[in-house]
């Protein structure tokens, strides 16, 4: 294969839309902006910023991303209804390069059980919606939801109709993660042979991971001519998630000659971006996660270690630094200066301005007073925590706990609210964490159900910092919070308070109890 055969594949990131639909992964507007900026730095071509008709909060987040993040195309999702499309378009007002993405289910299962619509009605609605979207925006994507379970002939009919109506990208989703690489290759080949003018639009692929084949199915579609891949950071998304950006991008990069395509992703920014999304969503990166997991570059067996010492390529198909995993054994401590600290932060892939660096450095000094040695994991946690405050409304002013074997633990918490309220509350419980969380619940008066409480160490040594991950259910939705401290009771309490803040912010932004899943409902006949 010659370099002239190398084609370009657009990376369409939907972490802020499909990724956010993952239970417990909802993000505040500020968090979405931080992720969007990181995605722009990573080099994604398109950011799907949200689903503006879902709630006022979603609309505001899309509008903020559209105003502030300029380099990539900013896309907003809409159902096939005039009201949805107009709402999405109004949110995109500030975007330098806006895209409208309209979708409508096409499979028999969805037509019969969800939409109660006949085939010709589906085509009419899709065409009217694409035409309306095109009257507003030059860049319009159409997705036949559940395409992989749609009758091939009918799918081709729908795709032909929306191409003729002016869609500039046609996306083929495997909405329920049902297809296989071979089958999806055939679907794409069939459509390319059958639909007139499909070569003049971008053909896109969108896969879910229910059977663990999202990346393989996406790669197969690329082989069959797809030139846009829809994916999410860490593969987060509905149910088992979406095609993972880091995996699909590295597969295309490492096997460039096999696929004959390239992307514009700055692969060295992959790990910092994944870490950022993990800390914001509270979804830890599994140790054995391909490309970015802690074990992805660890070699345990003697044979492998021996090979690695001889030549890294014996057991490594990519280098940790290729994905931005710049681990070092350099340990920082209380005598380390601002300069050394700044260098370390940069090597870890974070770009901080002087003011942000100053704030992290102050925390670094405070931590270094308590903890002798600071490792990469500690520094990463400090940066992500300083960057990642939900911004209230509640803050922890004081926490005191006592516990002894065989007795109930006691906790006193002092909380402050941005509206000026100041509450002190005491409670007892089964251990200091339980007592402190009960005190917070009583102080705030919010009925929540603690679903999960996990603690893990972010670095090494006896005085390692503990990261607490708290999962809570409230109003039928799942919320996650995470916090890091050398004191695990404190990190648990801070993580819980982060959850409380998320619930309050989410209520303020008018979020419905459960965001409608893509296509779970449709405004009948509204187009
Ligand atoms: O999975 C799906 O079908 C979707 C569409 C809205 C593209 O997310
Ligand atoms: Zn999806």
Does 35 share its domain with 99?
A: yes
Does 186 share its domain with 334?
A: no
Does 62 share its domain with 195?
A: yes
Does 216 share its domain with 354?
A: no
Does 97 share its domain with 232?
A: yes
The residue contributing the CA closest to ligand 1 atom 6 is 518
pLDDT attached to residue 522: 32
Q: Examine the fold and report which residue of 387, 402, 420 is the final residue of a domain before the chain moves on.
A: 387
Closest by alpha carbon to 122, among 172, 79, 173, 167? 79
Does 70 share its domain with 177?
A: yes
- Taking the CA of residue 519 as reference, the ligand 1 atom at the shortest distance is 6
Among 82-86, 129-133, 466-470, the least confident range: 466-470
* CA 87 to ligand 1 centroid distance, Å: 19
Q: What is the mean pLDDT of residues 102-110?
A: 98
| 172 sits in which H/E element | strand 169-174
Helices 245-254 and 214-223 cross at an angle (nearest 10°) of: 40
The residue contributing the CA closest to ligand 1 atom 5 is 145
Q: Examine the fold and report which residue of 221, 253, 281 is the final residue of a domain before the chain moves on.
A: 281
Distances, alpha carbon 130 to alpha carbons 86, 124, 168, in Å: 12, 10, 10
- Taking the CA of residue 230 as reference, the ligand 1 atom at the shortest distance is 7
The residue contributing the CA closest to ligand 1 atom 2 is 175
Phi, psi of 510 (to 5 degrees): 75, 25
What does the pLDDT look like over 466-518, one tens digit per residue? 889 899 988 888 888 888 888 889 999 999 998 998 888 888 776 654 433 33
Strands 409-417 and 466-474: unpaired
pLDDT confidence band for 5 (50 / 70 / 90): low
User: What is residue 24's DSSP assignment?
Assistant: B
The residues near 116 (Cβ < 8 Å, ≥ 6 apart) are 524
Does 355 share its domain with 380?
A: yes
Phi, psi of 221 (to 5 degrees): -65, -35
pLDDT confidence band for 386 (50 / 70 / 90): low
Gap between the Cα atoms of 235 and 73, Å rounded: 21
Residue 303 lies in a domain: no
Does 379 share its domain with 404?
A: no
* CA 143 to ligand 2 centroid distance, Å: 10
* CA 177 to ligand 1 centroid distance, Å: 11
Among 103-107, 310-314, 363-367, the least confident range: 310-314
pLDDT attached to residue 510: 65
Q: What is the mean pLDDT of residues 196-207?
A: 98
Residue 308 lies in a domain: no
Among 50-64, 85-99, 481-495, the least confident range: 481-495
pLDDT attached to residue 389: 59
Does 67 share its domain with 123?
A: yes
The residue contributing the CA closest to ligand 1 atom 1 is 175
Does 155 share its domain with 184?
A: yes
pLDDT confidence band for 392 (50 / 70 / 90): confident
Residue 298 lies in a domain: no
What range does the domain containing 361 cover?
A: 326-387
Question: Considering its fold, how many domains does the chain have in total?
Answer: 3
Do residues 506 and 61 make contact, with C-beta atoms less than 8 angstroms apart? no
Residue 430 lies in a domain: yes
Mean pLDDT of the chain: 90
Residue 500, token pair as written in the block: 């409380």
C-alpha atoms less than 13 angstroms from C-alpha of 133 in its C-beta half-sphere: 36
Residue 305 lies in a domain: no
Q: Examine the fold and report which residue of 387, 414, 434 is the final residue of a domain before the chain moves on.
A: 387
Residue 491 lies in a domain: yes
Residue 127 lies in a domain: yes
Do residues 49 and 100 make contact, with C-beta atoms less than 8 angstroms apart? no
Is any atom of ligand 1 closer than 6 Å to the C-beta of 206?
Answer: yes
Phi, psi of 65 (to 5 degrees): -65, -45
Gap between the Cα atoms of 394 and 238, Å rounded: 30
| 129 sits in which H/E element | helix 119-136
Do residues 107 and 130 make contact, with C-beta atoms less than 8 angstroms apart? no
CATH of the domain at 112: 3.20.20.70
pLDDT attached to residue 271: 94
Does 224 share its domain with 360?
A: no
Distances, alpha carbon 122 to alpha carbons 104, 149, 194, 201, in Å: 8, 15, 19, 21
Residue 295 lies in a domain: no
Do residues 471 and 479 make contact, with C-beta atoms less than 8 angstroms apart? yes
User: Greater confidence, 243 or 477?
Assistant: 243
Does 432 share its domain with 472?
A: yes
Q: Using DSSP, state whether 312 is helix, strand or coil.
A: helix
CATH of the domain at 484: 3.30.160.270
């Amino acid at each position: 294969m010659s370099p002239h055969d190398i084609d370009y594949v657009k990376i369409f990131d939907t972490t802020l839309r499909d990724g956010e639909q993952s239970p417990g992964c909802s993000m505040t507007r500020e968090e979405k902006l931080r992720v969007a900026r990181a995605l722009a730095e990573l080099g994604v071509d398109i950011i799907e910023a949200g689903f503006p008709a879902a709630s006022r909060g979603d609309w505001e987040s899309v509008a903020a991303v559209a105003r502030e993040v300029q380099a990539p195309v900013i896309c907003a999702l809409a159902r096939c209804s005039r009201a949805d499309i107009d709402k999405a378009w109004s949110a995109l007002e500030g975007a330098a390069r806006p895209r409208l993405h309209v979708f409508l289910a096409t499979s028999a299962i969805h037509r019969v059980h969800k939409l109660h619509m006949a085939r010709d009605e589906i085509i009419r609605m899709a065409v009217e919606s694409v035409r309306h979207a095109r009257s507003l925006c030059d860049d319009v994507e159409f997705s036949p939801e559940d395409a992989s379970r749609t009758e091939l002939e009918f799918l081709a009919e729908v795709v032909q109709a929306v191409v003729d109506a002016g869609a500039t990208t046609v996306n083929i989703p495997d909405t329920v993660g049902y297809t296989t690489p071979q089958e999806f290759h055939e679907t794409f080949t069939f459509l390319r042979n059958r639909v007139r003018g499909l070569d003049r639009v971008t053909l896109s692929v969108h896969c879910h991971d229910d059977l663990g084949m999202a990346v393989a199915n996406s790669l197969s579609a690329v082989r069959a001519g797809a030139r846009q891949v829809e994916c999410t950071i860490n593969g987060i998304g509905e149910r088992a998630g979406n095609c993972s950006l880091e995996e699909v991008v590295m597969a295309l990069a490492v096997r460039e000659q096999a696929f004959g395509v390239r992307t514009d992703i700055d692969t060295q920014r992959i790990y910092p971006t994944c870490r950022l999304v993990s800390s914001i969503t509270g979804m830890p990166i599994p140790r054995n996660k391909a490309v970015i997991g802690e074990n992805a570059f660890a070699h345990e067996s003697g044979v492998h270690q021996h090979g690695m010492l001889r030549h890294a390529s014996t057991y490594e198909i990519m280098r940790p630094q290729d994905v931005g995993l710049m681990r070092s054994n350099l340990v920082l401590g209380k005598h380390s200066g601002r300069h050394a600290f700044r260098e370390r932060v940069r090597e870890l892939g974070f770009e901080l301005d002087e003011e942000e660096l100053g704030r992290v450095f102050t925390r670094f000094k405070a931590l270094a007073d308590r903890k002798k040695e600071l490792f990469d994991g500690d520094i990463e946690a400090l940066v992500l925590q300083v960057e990642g405050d939900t911004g209230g409304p509640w803050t922890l002013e004081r926490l005191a706990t006592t516990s002894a074997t065989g007795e109930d633990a006691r906790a006193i918490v002092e909380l402050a609210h941005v509206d000026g309220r100041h509450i002190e509350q005491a409670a007892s419980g089964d251990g200091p964490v339980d007592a402190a969380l009960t005190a917070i619940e009583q102080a705030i008066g919010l009925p929540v159900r603690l679903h999960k409480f996990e603690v893990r160490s972010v670095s090494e040594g006896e005085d390692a910092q503990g990261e607490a991950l708290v999962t809570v259910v409230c109003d039928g939705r799942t919320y996650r919070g995470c916090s890091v401290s050398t004191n695990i009771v404190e990190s648990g309490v801070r993580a819980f308070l982060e959850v409380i803040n998320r619930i309050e912010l989410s209520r303020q932004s008018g979020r419905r109890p459960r965001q409608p899943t893509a296509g779970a409902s449709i405004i009948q006949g509204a187009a």
